[in-house]
Amino acid sequence: MVTSALTLNGKNEKLSKRQKVVDDEDLISNLPESILSHILSLLPTKDAVRTCVLSTRWIYNWTFITTIDMNDTLPFGRRGCWKKKKEQFVNFVDKVLLHLANPSIERFSLSMTAYQNYDLVRVNAWISSVLRRGVQKLHIHLSKDVFVSSRSLFNCNSLLDLKLDVRCTLRVPSSHFLSNLKLLHLCGVKFLNDSFPHSTELVLNFPVLKEFKCICCKWLNAQCVSIETPQLESFHINSATFESLSNGISKYSVKINSSHLRKFSYSGYQLEDVILLNPSCVLVASIVNSFTRDEEYIMLEVQRKTCMLLAQLCEVERLKLEIYFMKFLARGRNLVASLPTFDKLIHLEIDSVFTPCETLLDLLHKTPSLESLTFKDVARFDKDLLASMVVPACISSNLKVVKLKAFEGVEHEIWLAKFFLENAKVLELMAITKYSRVFTCTDMAIVEQQLLSASKISSAATVKFLTVGTD
Ligand SMILES: *[C@@H]1O[C@H](CO)[C@@H](O)[C@H](O)[C@H]1NC(C)=O
Ligand SMILES: *[C@@H]1O[C@H](CO)[C@@H](O)[C@H](O)[C@H]1NC(C)=O
Ligand SMILES: *[C@@H]1O[C@H](CO)[C@@H](O)[C@H](O)[C@H]1NC(C)=O
Ligand SMILES: *[C@@H]1O[C@H](CO)[C@@H](O)[C@H](O)[C@H]1NC(C)=O
């Protein structure tokens, strides 16, 4: 009953005057204030504010809400042209922030992507006002550059959860402690040392941060970025910006200092050095490198940097690699050979295309404990190749699951599948996911029959064919 009067489902936005007379009103009005403001906080902010029409006694109750969601893509106000709608949105945010009676805000989310040319001074004033009220969760998504007051932000110690998807420049003060911040997701943010231009280093210091995602961020004028996060458990960096690619190899390094890091993921062109100060605690890692330029010297440098990062991760249990230049690695086989052994690696997924068979086997020689391998799109090779290769130890002693993705049923794929079936002594499952395109030249039914009846050294091994979407 309570929910029906308040239209909690959000779609039914008809909190009309007529409804104020329903019997439920007293029931709700008699709720303790803290519960009422909690209920109102669960409503879309727009509907919470609309409760002011319920009765004169209700005029100010909405002002005690603690979570505020402002999204300019949601249908707003009365009908009208976009200019009118944009204006209504801006006035609404103004009104809510002005009348808010609660001294603190638990969550403020501002998403402005539908309209152009907002008054950015006003937007900055909103953000500052929310920061002053000790907001705990702040999410901002703007499609435009905006000025965010760095001082207010870095002094906002109430922040637990900060997501900024905004093109803004943050000037990082030398001593800053977002001392309660646990989660930080940044996209498109630029950082600058507050002592600029007298510094080429940048230190980010978050004493209790657990999760840090940093997508297309830039470190202006910094050659060394240190991320000091003793509690950090999960770190993702994506540095794939077009700008970084056009500048060629950059000279900066990113250092991560956390003795609790369990999950690390890198995505980008690996133009920078990434240094983990405590690499041995990482259990799960992923490296996606989409570097595509073919100038030999840059390529070699990128390969070297990627191998350097990979070498640091030699104690992981799960590893995913999607490296575009994998297909060139056969030429630089000594790079793979120079990698350390990944003694604890149990699961390896290679999502690159045209991985040379030699490179795949070279990698498997480095992973003696491997139990599960997923890969796709191995490049064509000569039939004699497999006969001349030493069978990696993990295949003969540990490998239980092999997953081949994007299987087209061509000759070299069949040879490789048979190679695993003939050598993996404890294999339990070979799962083959067929490529979704139909090839007229391959009769998949014949290929399937051939592999299902192929000789298997492991009596427990089964071969399964899957179609995309079932694996
Ligand atoms: C709503 O606000 C009025 C006026 O501030 C107050 O007297 C009343 O207790 C509030 N009602 C509830 C349920 O919080
Ligand atoms: C804003 O609303 C749109 C459309 O309903 C939705 O896709 C988007 O995720 C929302 N943004 C936020 C930050 O909630
Ligand atoms: C800014 O640079 C100065 C001088 O190099 C350094 O002492 C300070 O720690 C840096 N501040 C930040 C936030 O990186
Ligand atoms: C890494 O962090 C620890 C603990 O916060 C600190 O004692 C140590 O000096 C840091 N190491 C480096 C190289 O900055």
Out of 11, 68, 70, 71, give the residue to mutate to test ligand 2, the one with the largest number of ligand atoms within 8 Å of its CB.
71
CA torsion, points 96, 100, 105, 107, in degrees to nearest 10?
-20
- Which range (71-85, 306-320, 397-411, 453-467) has the least confidence? 71-85
Q: What is the predicted pLDDT for the residue at 4?
A: 37
Residue ID of nearest Cα to ligand 3 atom 13: 174
Kindly identify the ligand whose nearest atom is closest to the C-alpha of 26. 1
Helix (H) or strand (E) holding 365, with range, is helix 357-365
- Please indicate, yes or no, if residue 387 is contained in any of the structural domains: yes
- Please indicate, yes or no, if residue 307 is contained in any of the structural domains: no
**How confident is the model over 300-315, as a mean pLDDT?**
90
Residue ID of nearest Cα to ligand 3 atom 2: 199
Is the pLDDT reported for residue 350 higher than 50?
yes
What is the percentage of the chain residues whose pLDDT exceeds 90? Answer: 49
Q: What is the predicted pLDDT for the residue at 8?
A: 39
Is the pLDDT reported for residue 56 higher than 80?
no
Cβ of 193 closer than 6 Å to ligand 3, yes or no, is yes
Structure token pair of residue 121: 């001074």
pLDDT-derived band at 25, boundaries 50, 70, 90: low
CA dist list (Å): 110 to 46, 288, 308: 13, 31, 40
Cβ of 199 closer than 6 Å to ligand 3, yes or no, is yes
What would the pLDDT profile of 145-185 be if each residue is shown by its tens digit?
888 888 899 999 999 999 999 988 999 998 877 999 999 99
Task: Give the count of domains, the chain.
Answer: 2
Ligand 3: centre distance to CA 149 (Å): 19
Question: Which of the pair, 232 or 437, is modelled with greater confidence?
Answer: 232
Ligand 4: centre distance to CA 257 (Å): 6
Is the whole-model pTM more than 0.85? yes
Q: What is the predicted pLDDT for the residue at 164?
A: 96
Ligand 2: centre distance to CA 212 (Å): 22
Cβ of 467 closer than 6 Å to ligand 1, yes or no, is no
Question: Which of the pair, 297 or 470, is modelled with greater confidence?
Answer: 297
Q: What is the predicted pLDDT for the residue at 329?
A: 62
> Which atom of ligand 1 lies at the shortest distance from residue 33's CA?
14
Cβ of 257 closer than 6 Å to ligand 4, yes or no, is yes
Q: What is the predicted pLDDT for the residue at 28?
A: 63
Is the pLDDT reported for residue 22 higher than 60?
no
Question: The tokens 């152009």 sit on which residue?
Answer: 116
Domain extent at residue 370:
317-471
Residue ID of nearest Cα to ligand 4 atom 14: 257
- Please indicate, yes or no, if residue 124 is contained in any of the structural domains: no
Find how far residue 401's CA is from the centre of its chain: 27
Ligand 1: centre distance to CA 30 (Å): 9
Residue 29 contacts residue 3 (beta carbons within 8 Å): no
- Please indicate, yes or no, if residue 81 is contained in any of the structural domains: no
Q: What is the predicted pLDDT for the residue at 13?
A: 43
Residue ID of nearest Cα to ligand 4 atom 10: 257
What would the pLDDT profile of 382-414 be if each residue is shown by its tens digit?
989 999 889 999 999 999 999 999 998 889 999
What is the CATH number for 391? 3.80.10
- Please indicate, yes or no, if residue 56 is contained in any of the structural domains: no
Average pLDDT in the chain: 85
Which phi and psi angles does 429 have, rounded to 5°? -145, 130
> What is the Cα–Cα distance from 231 to 308, expressed in whole angstroms?
24
- Please indicate, yes or no, if residue 372 is contained in any of the structural domains: yes
Residues lining ligand 2, Cβ inside 6 A: 71, 73-74, 109, 111, 139, 141
Question: The tokens 């540990």 sit on which residue?
Answer: 398
Residue 47 contacts residue 7 (beta carbons within 8 Å): yes
- Please indicate, yes or no, if residue 203 is contained in any of the structural domains: no
- Please indicate, yes or no, if residue 388 is contained in any of the structural domains: yes
Is the pLDDT reported for residue 15 higher than 50?
no
